[in-house]
Each structure stands twice: as C-alpha cells, then as structure tokens.
Chain A
C-alpha cells in the first residue's frame, strides 16, 4: 500500500475564456521512505502537480483539478478545511525554489519556525529549544544565536536550510521540494543535496523532488518520473533512466546538461519537432 497514490490527475487553468490543460492525466505513487524525482522543463506541469497535493492552487474558479490523490487512503481533494490544515505542514511539507521570497522578512527565522511548531505540535513545551534543535539538524552553526536572525542577514544557502528546518520541524511524512537548489550556487547546491540525503536516511521520510536538472537526482532519488507537456512520458529507477533512457524527450533532457571535460564542444539543445517525430515512430501516445 503506497503512502501517496495519485490517480489520473488533471489540472486545467481558465483565463480569458481560454482553457489550458497543464496536467493531462498523471498517475504515480510514493511509498513510505521512498524518494521520487519529477523531472521536466518549465511548463511541463511538474510544479502544479506538486502544488495540488496540498491544494495550494487558486480556488477562485480559475483552476480545475480532477482525479484522486490518496494520502494514507484519504483523498486530499475531498478533505475539509480542518483536515487540510492538519495535512499542510503536518503531513506534507514544502520547500520552494526561492528561499528569499518564501521567508517573511519582518520576523526572525526562529519565530517563523516556532509558529509552525506551535500550530502542528501543541504537545511541545519548550518551542524555542525545539526550533534550535531543528536549526542544528540542518547544519546551522550557533543555532541558538541564529534563532533571532532575520532572513536578510543570512546567505541564500542558509535561508534554504532554514526553509528545510521549517518544513521538518512538524515531522511531516512527505517532503515536497520544488526546485530547492535552482536559486543557489553549484557548491551550495551540493551541500543542500547532501543534507537532504542525510535527513531522508535518518528520518525514513518520503520525498518528492521537483527539478529541471537530471544531474542532481542521482544518489538522492530512487525513482524518476519524466514530465513533458502535462504527461509522464517515462518513469523508472533513477540509474536505469539516466544510463538507458528510452523516450526521446528523456534522452534530450539528459544530453543537454553541461558536463566537465567537454571544452569547446557544442551543447545539445532540445529539438521538439524531432522529439515529436521520434516519439510517434516509437509508438508513444500523444
């Protein structure tokens, strides 16, 4: 029995009388303790898929979601507001791309984490100590002092560590990390990935990692789903997909990553027409 099971998820947006189908029937599952990557380019529907799992999409009628998303056999799309509040942060926590815009600039980072702890874990007596511990767990040194630091006093990498600490502070069972390293330098990216790997191992938590870069998922996610134009075009174990991709889109996405030792070589850029042609020849449904 999977912890999370998404069945035939469809998401469409209405604007100015036009309906855009962002996600066209996606199904996948995430087991307990498993880490799954969703890889695709901007516009592939990977982020909205992730957002829908905590019902974070606009509810003003501009966005329509259908299908089922079962978390422990309960359908997220049928939950009432009280159940949703318990779900968000408490069971599924998010880390977004841009830490500087995710954090509130007028509260200290410690206070922001404390707010989440108070809400989701009322049994905790010493909230401050709990926050300091959370900051230490993500590798922030002198955590007791950093409790009262404001977001602008921290570097981008440190801010992202704070976001991860906040997400973990309520002991969620699933972490959804949406491009957590895209705004960071490669060196800091490596640190954050190492940190995530460590935490997943220690906690036995599940993760969905959303990224456009195939390069970062190796050693971090056991399975990959490749999304292209609102559909999952290929999925399987990470190593298998990385070294033996089948779908022309997956091949192109892997080929365009800049690698060391190829000085002066021309980078491969994605030719969508060629992908369409090859995919049709290979019998992939569109």
Chain B
C-alpha cells in the first residue's frame, strides 16, 4: 500500500493548573501515544466520545495542537518528512497539502465575508491568480460541492447548515489538498442533511483521489464512509480494523458500548 501518513507514538499533553498559584499541577495526556497509518486514497474513520482525544489527534497532525512527542510522517513517494519536527516556516508548504473541515458550519465561516471572499483567502495565500481566474476557480469549487455558482456573493447566514458545511468543504478543497481531516463534519446537521454531506465526501474522494481522516462520535456514520476505522478513548486507540468487520465483531468493551448506543430499529 502506498502510505501517505504515518503517525508514530503521537502525544499531546496539556499542563493542568493545580496547587498554590497554579503550580505543581500535573499534565493531562489528551493524546497518549497514538500510532496509525493512512494510505493514499483511503478514508479512515476515527471514533470516540467527547474527551477521547480524537479531535486533538486530528489537530496535532495539522499542527493546530501542540505535539509533545512522537512523529507524524508525511510521505511523498519514497521521501518522508516528520511534520512534528518542522519549523513553522518549513511546515508552510504542507498546509497546502493538508486541509481541515470543521464541525460547526456556523462558527467556522466568517459572517462578514461573502462566500467568494471565504474561498479566495486560501487561493491568495498559495496561488497567484488574477481576479478573473479567481472567480473561475471559485465557481468551479461551488459546482464541485453542489452549490449554485451564482450564490458566490452571498453571506454565510443566507445558507442552511448543510450548505454552509459544503462551503467549508469547498474552502478546504480550494488549495487542492492531498489529505483532508474532517472533524465531526456532520454532527451539527439534521440526519437527512448528514446523508448528503457524507455522500458528497465519498464522491469527492473518488473524483479527486483524496485521502481522508474522518473523525466522528457516531460509529454508524463512520462505518458508512470509511474502509478502516480506529476507536479511541482516553487518549489511546483501543481497537482498529476494517470497518465492517470491526462493527460486526467488536472486541473491545468500549467499541461494544459505542455500537450499543446506536439506535436500532
């Protein structure tokens, strides 16, 4: 398999205030020695409850959370780079390769920017495009995520939750990334809209040959979209495997608990 990302013994820990004047507190290990690999073109799910460390793992890969130990190797053919060891300047080109889609489509879009402006921000950073080319690219992106290109000059509040999440996805795709991290992209949406967004992400994966880490708390959602999944709790991955096998034959009691919580009918 053609590996794209290899995470080795990743740790993220935060100091906890405690004792007199906040000194003498311990540390909390949000991510406690996590290792996994993701191959090119694959959608891998990461499931767990709030506080399990799944979001922090995603954020640490893209360096939105401070890495306290371990490595995140990014493969380019035979070359590999440890993202965790790079300086801010050295990391810059990788920001283009790795993009993120956030949970809350209401808070992750600037309410004072039109969709066009939202999509142009990443374009301006990485590409030198004239105004006409930018408009063309922005229209392409709108079509790609199933939005009306004529709505480019509307503001986020004029869109529904599902449409806003499409804008969030378009923004992530603007710089032509190889790898996207979707952090609970559907948990703020109605079930009917969830289905649309999940289908969109899997369509985009095959169309653009994207690789994706899909983070969610609902194991049924993750089983639908991912080929492999990892179950995380208390900062550790407790079980991982092929999604369908893992869901039909869970080994770890925590995985069973997640499966039990899915409404059945």
Contacts and interface: CB of A to CB of B under 8 A. Distances in A.
Interface of A: 41-43, 155-156, 185-190, 212-216, 218, 242-243, 252-253, 256-270
Interface stretch (B110-118, B132-140, B170-178, B215-223): B215-223
Given A42-B190, A186-B218, A266 B199 contact: yes
Given A263-B243, A265-B224, A186 B192 contact: no
A119 to B, nearest CB: 33
A42 B263 CA distance: 21
A181 B195 CA distance: 19
A260 B220 contact: yes
B165 to A, nearest CB: 13
Contacts, number: 107
Contact of A262 (B161, B224, B263): B224
For the complex of A and B, list the 10 residue pairs with the smallest distance between their C-beta atoms, beginning with the closest. Answer: A215-B263, A263-B244, A267-B195, A256-B195, A258-B220, A190-B261, A212-B190, A187-B261, A186-B261, A269-B195
Interface string B145-167: 00000000000000011000000
Interface in B38-96: 49-51
Interface stretch (B13-21, B24-32, B121-129, B252-260): B252-260
Contacts of A262: 223-224
Contacts of B263: 190, 213, 215-216, 218, 257
B227 interface: yes
Nearest to B202: A266
A261 B244 contact: yes
Contacts of A253: 191-192
Q: Is the interface of B mostly helix, strand, loop or mixed?
A: helix
B195 A268 contact: yes
A41 B220 CA distance: 20
B259 A260 contact: yes
Given A187-B49, A189-B261, A213 B223 contact: no
A41 B224 contact: no
Interface centre among B192, B221, B265 (most CB of A within 10 A): B192
A242 B218 CA distance: 21
A267 B218 CA distance: 15
A113 to B, nearest CB: 24
Contacts of A266: 199, 202
B152 to A, nearest CB: 23
Among B193, B243, B260, find the residue whose CB has the most chain A CB atoms closer than 10 A: B193
A143 B263 CA distance: 29
The residue in A155, A218, A243, A256 that gathers the most chain B C-beta atoms within 10 A of its C-beta is A256
Contacts of A214: 191, 265
Contacts of B224: 258, 262-265, 267
Nearest to A259: B220
A262 B238 CA distance: 22
Contact of A156 (B50, B218, B260): B50
B169 to A, nearest CB: 15
Nearest to A212: B190
28 contacts: A155-B50, A155-B51, A185-B49, A186-B219, A187-B217, A187-B257, A187-B261, A188-B50, A189-B261, A212-B190, A212-B191, A252-B192, A253-B192, A256-B195, A257-B263, A258-B191, A258-B220, A258-B224, A260-B219, A260-B259, A260-B262, A261-B248, A262-B224, A263-B227, A267-B194, A267-B195, A267-B199, A269-B192
A242 B265 contact: yes
A245 to B, nearest CB: 12
B190 to A, nearest CB: 4
A187 B248 contact: no
A158 to B, nearest CB: 12
Name, among A42, A43, A185, A214, the residue most crowded by chain B CB atoms within 10 Å (CB to CB). Answer: A185
